Amino acid sequence: MPALHWWPFFPFSNAMAKPPDPYRRRALGAAAGLAALLPAASAQGQLRGHGNAVEGLPIPGSAEERRILNVIEEVYRNHRYLSVPPEDGRLLRILAESIGAERIVELGTSTGYSGLWLLLALRKTGGKLVTYEIDEGRQAIARENFARAGLGTLATLVLGDAHEEIAKLKDPLDLVFIDADKQGYPDYLKKLLPLIRPGGLIVAHNMASPPPDPDYVRAITTDPALDTVFVNMDSAGVGITLKKR
């Protein structure tokens, strides 16, 4: 039975002490949505060992995909800093490729593991990634990893504090992946939400562990212009937020 993390509810339910009605309805809806994931978590256990839908890497559809997946696997095996788990990387690729994302922004490049999954999608959609990292050493490793995968030309790596650097963005975005400083999520959302196109996605990592910022959780679950689900909550947890059309 995988460990289940309940604490994302706590900051949320604390904030719900006496919410106004619409807020309360949304909050209860979000809690019910999260609760609905619990049977899925144990079903996930039953699926282990059946095909590759739960564990491992996707089955490569071409020699090029196989080559890129080999780099992705190697980066994960040798990673020294916190990267998303492989199932979250696969999810990023699936989301990006399925919405035909051409303009993706990532906050928190680290050594490029999640970026590689996004680039795997972008090579199909013909799009570009702009990814932000404050640590020069990690950024240099990410640049090498992107080049090794043959995907370097699809990525712009920006060095610096993403809170300041993203203010320079002007063009519409299809997908934003937030995985930098955890207390910074509300600010990233505030600055980037206006740029996300209707039908675009905001994907946030660490919605289960470490504890997410309650202001971020509230912002993505109480805005009628957004719809959010939480997945993979038996590990780090991912919030997927649609900016409705």
Interface ranges with ligand SAM (CB under 6 A): 81-84, 108, 110, 113-114, 132-135, 138, 161-163, 179-181, 184
CB 109 → ligand SAM: shortest distance, Å?
A: 6
Nearer to ligand SAM, 37 or 157 (CB): 157
CB 73 → ligand SAM: shortest distance, Å?
A: 14
Nearer to ligand SAM, 30 or 184 (CB): 184
CB 236 → ligand SAM: shortest distance, Å?
A: 9
CB distance 132 to 139 below 8 Å: no
Nearer to ligand SAM, 30 or 166 (CB): 166
CA dist 227 → 2, 109, 184 (Å): 27, 26, 21
Nearest-CB residue to ligand SAM? 108
CA-CA distance, 124 to 126, in Å (whole number)? 6
DSSP state of 79: -
CB 124 → ligand SAM: shortest distance, Å?
A: 20
The amino acid sitting at 31 is A
CB 79 → ligand SAM: shortest distance, Å?
A: 7
Nearer to ligand SAM, 55 or 244 (CB): 55
Closest Cα to residue 103, out of 189, 172, 195? 172
CA-CA distance, 25 to 28, in Å (whole number)? 5
CA-CA distance, 83 to 12, in Å (whole number)? 26
Sign of the alpha-carbon torsion through 66, 67, 70, 72: negative
* 11-42 core/surface letters (b: 16 or more CB in 10 A; e: else): bbeeeeeeeeeeeeebbeebbeebeebeeebe
Helix, strand, coil % over all residues of the chain, rounded to 5: 50, 20, 30
CB 179 → ligand SAM: shortest distance, Å?
A: 4
Nearer to ligand SAM, 114 or 125 (CB): 114
Nearer to ligand SAM, 65 or 209 (CB): 209
CB 138 → ligand SAM: shortest distance, Å?
A: 5
Nearer to ligand SAM, 127 or 184 (CB): 184
